[in-house]
Amino acid sequence: MKANVKIIAMALAISLTATGCAAINSADTSSAAGASSGASASAGGTASSYIENTANTADAYTDRDLEQTADTDDATEITLTDNDTVSITEAGVYILSGSASNCTVRIEADKDSDKVQLVLNGVTITNDSAPAIYVVSADKCFITTAEGTENTLTVTGSFTADGDTNTDAVIFSKDDLVLNGLGSLTVSSAENGISCKDDLKITGGTYSITSQADAIEANDSILICGGSFEINSGKDGLHCENEDDNTAGSIDISGGSFSITAQSDGVQATTYVQIDGGDLTITASEGLEATYIVINDGSVNITASDDGVNATAKSTVTTPFVEINGGTLTVSMGQGDTDAIDANGSIFVNGGYIDITAPTSSFDYDAAAEFNGGTIVINGQEVSEIPQSMMGGGMGGRDHGGMGGRGGW
């Protein structure tokens, strides 16, 4: 289900969405993913544009999404065995246990009505070339880790396609996917870790993901309001992109704890990345990348070798911009042609605390920059304006004289 995204110009502040799964008022029915954020401009400041979706974060999760345990009264218990395909064709709760090699749990249920819930109750699956869990069709699939259990899913080699479908992840779903639970899940992959070709939600659980490609990816949206994540990715940590529609592909994080090490981007989306809460520590080439990036709350700590926060034209729904309304953003940049906060458009700082260590450039933008509220510290010194492409180690800027020619910022 794809969020209906529209661009609206706002001249007033709006309230932020709820932070974390515990603060979310769940809806009775599933709705489009995404959150509504606003520019909280101070008196006299000019508010930026923002992205508003058909549903805010509070509406995006159902009661069942947020429930960390399954109703197992009528559940079916399945013990996994080697060289087997476990076929699930109808709605229900299925408790999985046991260790197996070259075993795939394949769900092929009615995509309009069947909700399937897998409870991982001490599962270990090691495959050569096929997903451990493959959702061919379902209205929604839940993968719930049972309390106190440790579960491990591994694919060691290159994936074999299923007809025209390139099943290139340990957990591969063509339809909506929800991850939750009170146990732990370790995923190791020669390609992608978890892939959802629709909307992906994570509301709880403990995850350790090692992948040669993207650790967690989805086509239309990724929403996370809880969980603990240890990610080591050969490409992106979180990635959301629909190759057929550049108006889709968004990431909302309103809770959870993240330690992400990625060779490319820590968090990348086509349309927007929105941080409403949580604790993110990212070491990557680029920390956050999307067309529109908004930080409303939470703690984001980025160590980057290219750009820390990068708003670039990946979607036609808006021009690129960065908007910071609250929370704490810490960015530490490496040497070279690097920018801590880079927008191929505009930057709006309306609140929050920003601490930048940048030997070359702290801010770089192509259009406008507004500092309406909050605190900005650059290389240990609090500033009262946003500089433009200032050299971190010397006097003066590159093309613009911002900050009255004061260097070192």
- In a domain, residue 4? The reply is yes
Query: Are both 176 and 230 inside the same structural domain?
Result: no
Q: Please tell me the predicted confidence (pLDDT) of residue 408.
A: 35
**Could you tell me the pLDDT band of residue 393, with boundaries at 50, 70 and 90?**
very low
Q: What is the mean pLDDT of residues 135-150?
A: 98
Query: Are both 170 and 286 inside the same structural domain?
Result: no
In angstroms, what CA-CA distances link 312 with 12, 290, 331? Answer: 25, 6, 18
- In a domain, residue 86? The reply is yes
Query: Are both 80 and 29 inside the same structural domain?
Result: no
**Could you tell me the pLDDT band of residue 388, with boundaries at 50, 70 and 90?**
confident
Query: Are both 158 and 254 inside the same structural domain?
Result: no
Query: Are both 284 and 186 inside the same structural domain?
Result: no
Q: What is the mean pLDDT of residues 155-184?
A: 97
Exposed, middle or buried: residue 179 (CB in 10 Å: 0-12, 13-18, 19+)?
A: buried
- In a domain, residue 111? The reply is yes
**Could you tell me the pLDDT band of residue 400, with boundaries at 50, 70 and 90?**
very low
Of 236, 235, 195, 202, the closest CA to residue 219 belongs to 195
The pLDDT tens digits of the residues spanning 228-247 come to 999 999 999 999 999 999 99
Q: Please tell me the predicted confidence (pLDDT) of residue 270.
A: 97
> Which amino acid, 217?
E
Q: Please tell me the predicted confidence (pLDDT) of residue 49.
A: 43
- In a domain, residue 326? The reply is yes
Query: Are both 84 and 55 inside the same structural domain?
Result: no
Q: Please tell me the predicted confidence (pLDDT) of residue 57.
A: 57
Q: Please tell me the predicted confidence (pLDDT) of residue 63.
A: 96
Q: In the chain, what is the straight-line distance between the N-terminal and C-terminal CA atoms, in Å? A: 44
Decide if 59 contacts 35 (C-beta within 8 A).
no
The pLDDT tens digits of the residues spanning 243-278 come to 999 999 999 999 999 999 999 999 999 999 999 999
Decide if 276 contacts 35 (C-beta within 8 A).
yes
- In a domain, residue 212? The reply is no
Number of domains in the chain: 2
Query: Are both 62 and 81 inside the same structural domain?
Result: no
What per-residue string of b and e applies to 20-35 under the rule 16 or more CB within 10 Å gives b? bbeebebeeebbbbbb
Q: Please tell me the predicted confidence (pLDDT) of residue 382.
A: 97
Alpha carbon distance 12, 78 (integer Å):
55
Q: Quick check: 355 pLDDT over 80? A: yes
Range of the domain at 120: 74-202
- In a domain, residue 210? The reply is no
Lowest mean pLDDT among 6-20, 295-309, 331-345: 6-20
Q: What is the mean pLDDT of residues 103-125?
A: 98
Q: Quick check: 293 pLDDT over 50? A: yes
Query: Are both 18 and 96 inside the same structural domain?
Result: no
Of 93, 121, 105, 18, the closest CA to residue 61 belongs to 18
- In a domain, residue 307? The reply is yes
Query: Are both 196 and 101 inside the same structural domain?
Result: yes
Q: What is the mean pLDDT of residues 347-370?
A: 96
The pLDDT tens digits of the residues spanning 195-205 come to 999 999 999 99
Q: Largest alpha-carbon pair distance within the chain?
A: 71
Q: Please tell me the predicted confidence (pLDDT) of residue 19.
A: 52
Q: What is the mean pLDDT of residues 209-215?
A: 98
Q: Quick check: 38 pLDDT over 60? A: no
Q: Please tell me the predicted confidence (pLDDT) of residue 363.
A: 97
- In a domain, residue 207? The reply is no
For residue 105, the cross-strand partners are 86, 133
Average pLDDT, the chain: 86
Q: Quick check: 405 pLDDT over 90? A: no
Q: What is the mean pLDDT of residues 83-99?
A: 98
Strand 103-108 with 206-211, pairing: unpaired
Of 165, 151, 102, the closest CA to residue 129 belongs to 102
Query: Are both 171 and 258 inside the same structural domain?
Result: no
Alpha carbon distance 103, 163 (integer Å):
18
**Could you tell me the pLDDT band of residue 22, with boundaries at 50, 70 and 90?**
confident
Q: Which DSSP symbol is given to 397?
A: B
Query: Are both 53 and 106 inside the same structural domain?
Result: no
| Gyration radius of the chain over CA positions | 22
Query: Are both 231 and 347 inside the same structural domain?
Result: yes
Query: Hey, what's the torsion of the CAs at 216, 150, 225, 189, to 10 degrees?
Result: 0
Q: What is the mean pLDDT of residues 366-389?
A: 94
Decide if 57 contacts 276 (C-beta within 8 A).
yes
Q: Please tell me the predicted confidence (pLDDT) of residue 24.
A: 65
Q: Please tell me the predicted confidence (pLDDT) of residue 17.
A: 39
What is the token pair recorded at 259? Answer: 């330690």
Q: Please tell me the predicted confidence (pLDDT) of residue 335.
A: 87
Question: Which segment, 40-54, 55-69, 307-321, is predicted with the most confidence on average?
Answer: 307-321
Of 245, 295, 227, the closest CA to residue 267 belongs to 295
